[in-house]
Amino acid sequence: VPCKYEADRLFLEPPHSHDPINVSHVAALSASTLRQLPEAVQDALWALQESTSVIYASCLRLQALLEERFERLTALQDTPGTYSEVPFFNYINTLSVERPYLVHDAHPDWKHKARQTGILSPTSPYASLRLTYRGRTITIGQWMQRLSAAESLWVDTAQAVDLPDFDATIREYQSLS
């Protein structure tokens, strides 16, 4: 059965995918650094990279959805200048699911995986290992702090999102047209 509205089809689209390679520049250590770590820590770091990828993909999805607000307005053919609330409602529902997913599901999972690496602790025997990161020599502990700061930024960005209002979105769209 074809969808009556384009926005309804968008509401039904599959969830976003993620690829840990997309965050390797932020969340992966070099092979030479990894070889200095026990296999259990290497495995925990891979799980953390995957979890970082999930959060990053969710953050990108949330930003993409916010940028689509005008495309999600469906004009009513009977009355020029008016728009259907149903597709926009579906759009708001999609946004309403993505933000809490990132904040309440993906973020706690990331924190758990970060703790499992054992590197967040200043007493970790691996936190003081040196590595070259973006042309500078830092410790694994410092690298982990930077990764944690990036993840916190993505979560803070999601928490700060205000869901678009139907009428305000129409007014904004019409003012830009």
Structural domain count of the chain: 1
The strand pairing partners of 29, in sequence order, are: none
pLDDT over threshold 50, residue 164: yes
Residue 92 placed within a domain: yes
Q: Does residue 155 contact residue 54 with C-beta atoms inside 8 Å? A: no
DSSP 88-127: HHHHHHHHHHHHHIIIIIIHHHHHHHHHHHS-SSTT-TTT
Residue 1 placed within a domain: no
With the CA atoms of 30, 36, 38 and 40 taken in that order, what torsion angle do they form, in degrees rounded to the nearest 10?
Answer: -10
Q: Measure CA 122 to chain center.
A: 27
State the residue range of the domain holding 85.
6-172
- Specify the pTM: 0.80
Chain segment 33-80, per-residue pLDDT in tens: 888 888 988 899 999 998 998 898 899 899 999 999 999 999 998 888
Residue 64 placed within a domain: yes
Residue located via tokens 């993409």: 64
Question: 25 versus 58: which is more confidently predicted?
Answer: 58
Residue 29 placed within a domain: yes
Of the ranges 5-9, 32-36, 78-82, 89-93, which one carries the lowest mean pLDDT score? 5-9
Residue 161 placed within a domain: yes
Chain segment 97-140, per-residue pLDDT in tens: 999 999 999 999 999 999 999 887 878 888 888 888 778 888 88
SS3 128: coil
Locate 80 and state its tokens.
Answer: 């020029």
Residue 177 placed within a domain: no
Which pLDDT score, from 0 to 100, does residue 121 have?
81
Q: What is the mean pLDDT of the chain?
A: 84
